[in-house]
Amino acid sequence: MEQRMEEVQTQIDELRRKIEYHSNRYYNMDDPEITDYEYDMLMQQLKKIEKEHPEFVTPDSPTQKVGGTAKRTAGVLVRHNVPMLSLQDVFSKEEVYAFVEEMQQQLEHPEFVVEYKIDGLSMALRYEDGALKLAVTRGDGIIQGEDVTANAKVIHDVKKKMKDPLPYIEIRGEVYMKNADFEKVNETQEMLGKKTFANPRNCAAGTLRQLDSSITKQRNLSMFIFNVQEVRGREFKTHVEGYEYLKKQGVPVINDYRVCHTADEVWDAICKIGENRGNLAYDIDGAVVKINSIADREILGATSKVPRWAIAYKYPPEEKETKLLDIELSVGRTGRITPTAIFEPVRLCGTSVSRATLHNQDFINDLDIGIGDTIVVYKSGEIIPKIKEVRREKRPEHWQRFQIPDTCPVCGAKTVREKDTADIRCVSPDCPAQLERHIINFVGRDAMDIKGFGTVYIEELVRRGFLQDIADIYSLKKHREELIEQGIIGKEKNTDKLLDAIENSKNNEPFRLLTGFGIQNVGKAAAKSIMRQFGSIEALQKAGKEELLAVNDIGEVSAECILKYFASEKNQDIIARLQQAGVNMHMSEAEETGDTLAGMTIVVTGTLPTLGRKEAQELIEKNGGKAAGSVSKKTSYVLAGENAGSKLTKAQDLGIPVLSETEFLQMIQPETA
């Protein structure tokens, strides 16, 4: 029994860790890694376990909190007059009917309003005597949010003055971005060489938090109001009555709402919204069902997280049919051939998509897919297009399942299928496609991080014979005049800028060089551990299998890949030429700080007196420890500063030792601390 309870606690801790991580990326970083649906499923799983084991529910559990955190960097913090709560999510017809029936049991003849759930960022507007005085984001939803008044005033849909003023009114709505405006922003980002936004919601959230309101104005945000939070000088008896007042003021409210009286009517309204979602100029991720009567809402009240008088029905991930036009084959840096489906463009989650990976021949066989097929496409993580299935009943005549050819699509050499894998590879050492991908990996952010060395330049330099391996990168300066004359990189200024970036990369830490070698199963994290252990590329070249296996994160497969790489005469020659060019292959004394924290997992939280969080995490890693982002039973220590928050509380609850900055520095530098 005790073991079972420990397993439950471990499962809860892991779910909370995942939810907190993804919640932070969604609310505070505007850069989610998973879909809303996947996040909702994690939350539902946690709620189910906590319901079965209420003794494990804690105040800092994600099920007990609302939204994200308010950011000081984005604006002045403002206290909420009325909490900006989230809504209880439901995912089935049965749950919708259960909500309606519960309301009918508690209230006399309740009316329901069903309306769109816009996929954006929540904001409240406060008006005094008809004039806009303050705009505030949801923040933590309970206590405070961010003052974004300057940005709100440049949003066209935000009224600066009411036509029929009241002494005071606070209204809440959703700031969002229309799909057409979103595409324009991403086009501009691409032109400027900046990172594009994953979807309209992320773009709207990031834009509203901009410190420069001129950028907010350029990006053309929109807003719908969905609730009257508080009012003085007038009484609204129903939700719809509040809408009618706002419409007369010229305030955009959620349109196409429907008043319902029965569960069947509510479900029909939800279905109608779902059928129409693909025709809207903006994204919605569900339908909201609310009690219409304000008096009834007051009777029902709210929990610490959600109002009891409303639910949000979440639609399953959006899917669309389209036609497969072609299958394109590409060759990666290891020779792996990847098939990509090219189909008639469809709009999913706010963007137009026309490509999706087919992974390998086994995946193609399982889908039973061929050119001309009608396919069903969806977005994984609301970001990555994927093919769900083939509509075989719509298959064309003379159809054939697609087969990856037994020759390389780039160089024409014979391909092989690796034993016990689904991968088909080109094994020709002279294949230009492999070289291009290898160099792209080498100059990338996780490896040598050579700024401005784009894919187009690499392809052209390979095509014209300037680059035949990664060592040739450091010989490009010998061809400066040729490069300028041929305009491969651009004029003199651009060429010199890239050559300077290449020269500066010689001073990188050697783990970046090791990552850039592109050894299978050796990524950035593993490269860091390896270099801490061996100190230099030269020492690593001489290492045996047993020595490699002694490194954290290196197993049998990785060790074999490393040995195979360094045994190659071609790779030995490349390393020798890199060394001759002056590329750093030795850890500096500052980097060789030892293994004082070996085997320890340390979480950094709060504001430290002198160290930045990133600096502290680097010190942990340089001393052999692991810097983790969340507290669990496996955490060795928590390094805490001011405003440490929930991580500190959790550490204290679990009995995990807490370090001050002074104590931490004394651990790693006892003679100087």
Please check whether residues 182 and 270 belong to one and the same domain: yes
Confidence of residue 69 (pLDDT cuts 50, 70, 90): very low
Q: Is 86 annotated as a binding residue?
A: yes
Asked if pLDDT for residue 574 goes beyond 50, the answer is: yes
Q: Is 290 annotated as a binding residue?
A: yes
Q: From CA 321, how far away is CA 315, in angstroms rounded?
A: 17
Q: Is 506 annotated as a binding residue?
A: no
Please check whether residues 249 and 148 belong to one and the same domain: yes
Q: From CA 575, how far away is CA 585, in angstroms rounded?
A: 9
Q: From CA 208, how far away is CA 123, in angstroms rounded?
A: 9
- The model's pLDDT over 81-131, given as tens digits with 9 standing for 90+, comes to 999 999 999 999 999 999 999 999 999 999 999 999 998 999 999 999 999
Q: Is 36 annotated as a binding residue?
A: yes
Q: Is 349 annotated as a binding residue?
A: no
Compute the average pLDDT of residues 159-181.
Answer: 94
248 is annotated as an active-site residue: no
User: What's the pLDDT score for residue 264?
Assistant: 97
Compute the average pLDDT of residues 333-353.
Answer: 85
CATH of the domain at 227: 3.30.470.30
User: What's the pLDDT score for residue 309?
Assistant: 97
Please check whether residues 213 and 160 belong to one and the same domain: yes
User: What's the pLDDT score for residue 541?
Assistant: 94
Residue 310 resides in a domain:
yes
Please check whether residues 222 and 106 belong to one and the same domain: yes
Q: What per-residue string of b and e applies to 644-658 under the rule 16 or more CB within 10 Å gives b?
A: bebbbebbeeeebeb
Residue 592 resides in a domain:
no
Q: From CA 412, how far away is CA 432, in angstroms rounded?
A: 11
Please check whether residues 162 and 27 belong to one and the same domain: no
Residue identified by tokens 């049998």 is 556
Confidence of residue 594 (pLDDT cuts 50, 70, 90): low
Q: Is 115 annotated as a binding residue?
A: yes
Asked if pLDDT for residue 667 goes beyond 90, the answer is: no
Q: From CA 52, how far away is CA 47, in angstroms rounded?
A: 9
Number of domains in the chain: 6
Compute the average pLDDT of residues 172-186.
Answer: 91
Element (H, E) at 213: helix 213-219
Domain final residue, candidates 287, 314, 341: 314
CB-CB contact of 360 with 341 (8 Å): no
Residue identified by tokens 């083939």 is 390
- The model's pLDDT over 282-299, given as tens digits with 9 standing for 90+, comes to 988 899 999 999 999 999
Which residue did the predictor score with more confidence, 462 or 170?
170
Residue 589 resides in a domain:
no
Domain final residue, candidates 527, 551, 580: 580
Please check whether residues 482 and 606 belong to one and the same domain: no
Domain final residue, candidates 391, 417, 443: 417
Q: From CA 566, how far away is CA 569, in angstroms rounded?
A: 8
Compute the average pLDDT of residues 6-28.
Answer: 75
Please check whether residues 340 and 456 belong to one and the same domain: no
Compute the average pLDDT of residues 449-475.
Answer: 92
CATH of the domain at 398: 2.40.50.140
CATH of the domain at 576: 1.10.150.20
- The model's pLDDT over 520-571, given as tens digits with 9 standing for 90+, comes to 888 887 888 899 889 999 999 999 999 999 887 688 888 999 999 999 999 9
Residue 424 resides in a domain:
no
Pure H helices in 277-386: 294-300, 361-367
User: What's the pLDDT score for residue 648?
Assistant: 81
User: What's the pLDDT score for residue 247?
Assistant: 95
Q: From CA 659, how far away is CA 502, in angstroms rounded?
A: 41
Beta-carbon contacts of residue 277 (< 8 Å; ≥ 6 apart): 284, 315, 318
| Residue in 194, 184, 293, 227 with CA at minimum distance from that of residue 85 | 227
Please check whether residues 357 and 491 belong to one and the same domain: no
Q: Is 426 annotated as a binding residue?
A: yes
User: What are the DSSP E strand ranges found in 384-482?
Assistant: 384-390, 415-417, 424-426
The pLDDT > 90 percentage for the chain reads: 49
Please check whether residues 238 and 263 belong to one and the same domain: yes
Residue identified by tokens 């494990």 is 56
For residue 464, how many C-alpha atoms fall within 13 Å in the half-sphere facing its CB? 15
CB-CB contact of 610 with 649 (8 Å): no
DSSP tag of 26: I
DSSP tag of 281: S
User: What's the pLDDT score for residue 28?
Assistant: 55
User: What's the pLDDT score for residue 349?
Assistant: 67
Provide the domain limits for residue 462. 432-505
Q: From CA 145, how far away is CA 143, in angstroms rounded?
A: 7
Residue 171 β-bridge partners = 125, 228
Q: Is the pTM of this model over 0.75?
A: no
Residue 389 β-bridge partners = 376
Supply the mean pLDDT for the chain: 87
User: What's the pLDDT score for residue 25?
Assistant: 64
Residue 640 β-bridge partners = 605
Q: Is 314 annotated as a binding residue?
A: yes
Q: Is 174 annotated as a binding residue?
A: yes
Please check whether residues 209 and 176 belong to one and the same domain: yes
Asked if pLDDT for residue 157 goes beyond 90, the answer is: yes
- The model's pLDDT over 197-227, given as tens digits with 9 standing for 90+, comes to 877 888 898 888 877 888 889 999 999 999 9
Largest Cα span, the chain: 85
User: What's the pLDDT score for residue 383?
Assistant: 64
Residue 525 resides in a domain:
yes
User: What's the pLDDT score for residue 495?
Assistant: 93
Distances (CA, A) of 131 to 7, 160, 244: 56, 6, 19
User: What's the pLDDT score for residue 463?
Assistant: 86
Please check whether residues 150 and 202 belong to one and the same domain: yes
Asked if pLDDT for residue 515 goes beyond 90, the answer is: yes
CATH of the domain at 646: 3.40.50.10190
Catalytic position from the list 117, 159, 379, 650:
117
Q: From CA 28, how far away is CA 145, in angstroms rounded?
A: 12
- The model's pLDDT over 379-411, given as tens digits with 9 standing for 90+, comes to 755 567 889 999 999 999 899 999 999 999 988
Beta-carbon contacts of residue 447 (< 8 Å; ≥ 6 apart): 441, 512, 513, 515, 516, 524
User: What's the pLDDT score for residue 74?
Assistant: 47
Residue 588 resides in a domain:
no
Residue 585 resides in a domain:
no
Residue 233 resides in a domain:
yes
The pLDDT > 70 percentage for the chain reads: 92
Confidence of residue 620 (pLDDT cuts 50, 70, 90): confident
Asked if pLDDT for residue 487 goes beyond 70, the answer is: yes
Q: Is 328 annotated as a binding residue?
A: no
SS3 (DSSP) at 555? coil
Compute the average pLDDT of residues 187-204.
Answer: 78
User: What's the pLDDT score for residue 26?
Assistant: 60
Q: From CA 140, how far away is CA 83, in angstroms rounded?
A: 9
Q: Is 222 annotated as a binding residue?
A: no
Q: Is 271 annotated as a binding residue?
A: no
Asked if pLDDT for residue 72 goes beyond 50, the answer is: no
Residue identified by tokens 């505030």 is 136
Residue 398 token pair: 């003379």
Compute the average pLDDT of residues 661-672.
Answer: 74
Please check whether residues 18 and 128 belong to one and the same domain: no
